[in-house]
Chain A
């Protein structure tokens, strides 16, 4: 079975550009999580969805960040405009039920120049 799929795996962009990260959760999972990981701040929960509905976006750093989940098999995290301090590894994770084990994707390494 395929795990959580993220694309692209690496993204290099220039400051001010729009960046879109994509995630396909494991089929049948009803929770989807977006995390950001940096050396300085560690692993941060940005937002999570339940049955495609955003439940808590309090971790989204600012209005430049937005996330959508148009259906059960796809989610995007968008940064517009991007800034160098957004450089990080972004992980998507999914679970079946919130208490259940979270399955993480391989991450997208974003570099904003």
Chain B
């Protein structure tokens, strides 16, 4: 079945450092890909998405490019802030029929001043 694998955390970075969180997927067809973010004590919220190959999703300085050749959707940010400390979830939605989102296990990011 469909699955998402993301790098295990926690990831600890200093403020203004470059961030990469790796995400790879297994799916048939052409899934849509998402990054959700969960701030402490809150529910998940959509950060960005891409619905077809080579699309780049971006939001709040974060970017991810849908790479079908490597089945990847890595999340990047050029300069992280303390306020980016959260858990980040990669997810996919299959193009095949009535199936729900498949989430990765999440990666905890801590940014220190």
Contacts and interface: CB of A to CB of B under 8 A. Distances in A.
Contact of A43 (B41, B46, B99, B103): B103
Contacts of B61: none
Given A43-B106, A99-B32, A93 B89 contact: no
Interface of A: 4, 33, 42-43, 45, 48, 50, 55-56, 91, 93, 98-99, 101-107
Could you say which of A43, A48, A55, A56 has the most chain B C-beta atoms within 10 Å of its C-beta? Answer: A43
Contacts of B29: none
Given A42-B105, A42-B106, A55 B46 contact: no
A43 to B, nearest CB: 5
B2 to A, nearest CB: 12
A102 B105 CA distance: 17
A4 B44 CA distance: 11
